[in-house]
């Protein structure tokens, strides 16, 4: 019987969830789908040695990285706190590079992107990793177009997932691509998760992002913007609330928020619109009004720039996901 060989690469101090989200989903697809071409899931590590996964777990491998041959359907490199050592290990990097050449598709989860980048597989490509590592990743690999926003990115045959449970979304996308949306739906129901979050959904929403900044004036402005999206939140008005000049407020925001007040307002408005689009049935015109956007066209342009798809398509995708919850 034909199969789809999938190699999941782990290493010392890999993240267990990065691995399990992939292996469990694929194994479940095999059982639910009675597939003509089932996934042959292989847990791979250097020397086929058992690897430590925090906290205090030992994971055994089925194959040695050095002796694995292809062709492979999919090569997936997991992330974890051992990623820096893995990316600096010439044996791991060389064999990931070798196996990538004989794989139909290649992917990383979380900081596994460091290993792909060290192997030169992300040069000139758009990629993501866990938001908390994005700046360090971009500085270490300037040839990679790093986008810390989406939960996963596909660029050609290479995919990168943001981290931890985003591996679930990426694996469900692979299952849908290989065997259709119905099997992906069945797997998601068994996992009691959404059918699939779109890859361009943000890693963090306005409700789970970092807490307000420590600077009192900036914090007052942030709180005011979040509570008054439909009001006057121009830089001049916000500067008055902060008790500083507009120019000084811009300097404070660049220092403490990494962006101008105007850009912060736009991002919060679009994030709030995304929340309303998913959680309510409000017409898009009403969503735009509540979020301080001048019109549905303004909403469409800003939303498409941020999420890559128009609001109507975003709502349709998320409604499908909600309707398929277990």
Distance CA 323, CA 99 (A): 39
DSSP E strands in 3-161: the ranges are 4-9, 39-45, 51-53, 57-59, 63-64, 72-77, 103-109, 126-127, 145-146, 152-155, 158-161
Q: Are 198 and 317 in contact (CB under 8 A)?
A: yes
Neighbouring CB atoms inside 10 A of 264's CB total 20
Q: Compute the Cα dihedral for 173, 179, 181, 185 and give only its sign.
A: negative
- For 144, residues 6+ apart whose C-beta sits below 8 A from its C-beta are 113, 117, 122, 123, 124, 125, 127, 137, 138
Can you read off the two tokens belonging to residue 313?
A: 């398509």
Distance CA 57, CA 51 (A): 8
Query: Exactly one of 3, 21, 53, 110 is catalytic; which is it?
Result: 110
Distance CA 195, CA 177 (A): 13
**DSSP at 121:** T
Distance CA 237, CA 233 (A): 6
Residue 53 is among the residues annotated as catalytic for this protein:
no
The residues carrying an active-site annotation are 110
């Amino acid at each position: 019987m034909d199969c789809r060989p999938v190699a999941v690469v782990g290493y010392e101090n890999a993240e267990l969830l990065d691995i399990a989200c992939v292996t469990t989903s694929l194994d479940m697809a095999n059982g639910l789908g009675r597939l003509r071409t089932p996934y042959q899931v292989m847990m791979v590590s250097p020397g086929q040695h058992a690897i430590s996964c925090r906290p205090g777990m030992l994971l055994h491998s089925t194959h040695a990285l050095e002796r694995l041959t292809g062709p492979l359907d999919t090569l997936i490199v997991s992330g974890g706190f051992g990623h820096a050592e893995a990316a600096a290990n010439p044996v791991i990097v060389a064999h990931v590079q070798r196996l990538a050449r004989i794989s139909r598709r290649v992917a990383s989860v979380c900081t596994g992107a460091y290993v792909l980048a060290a192997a030169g597989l992300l040069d000139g490509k758009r990629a993501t990793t866990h938001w908390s590592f994005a700046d360090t990743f971009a500085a270490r690999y300037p040839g990679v177009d790093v986008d810390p926003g989406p939960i996963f990115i596909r660029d050609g045959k290479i995919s990168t997932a943001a981290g931890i449970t985003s591996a679930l979304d990426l694996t469900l996308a692979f299952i849908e691509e290989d065997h259709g949306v119905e099997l992906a739906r069945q797997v998601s129901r068994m996992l009691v998760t959404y059918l699939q979050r779109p890859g361009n959904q943000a890693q963090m929403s306005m409700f789970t992002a970092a807490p307000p900044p420590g600077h009192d004036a900036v914090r007052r402005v942030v709180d005011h913007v979040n509570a008054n999206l439909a009001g006057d939140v121009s830089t001049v008005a916000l500067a008055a609330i902060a008790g500083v000049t507009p120019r000084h407020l811009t300097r404070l925001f660049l220092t403490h928020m990494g962006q101008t007040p105007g850009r912060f307002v736009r991002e919060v408005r679009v994030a709030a619109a995304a929340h309303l689009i998913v959680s309510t049935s409000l017409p898009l015109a009403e969503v735009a009004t509540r979020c301080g956007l001048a019109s549905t066209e303004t909403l469409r342009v800003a939303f498409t720039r941020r999420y890559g798809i128009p609001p109507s398509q975003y709502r349709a995708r998320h409604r499908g996901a909600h309707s398929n919850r277990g």
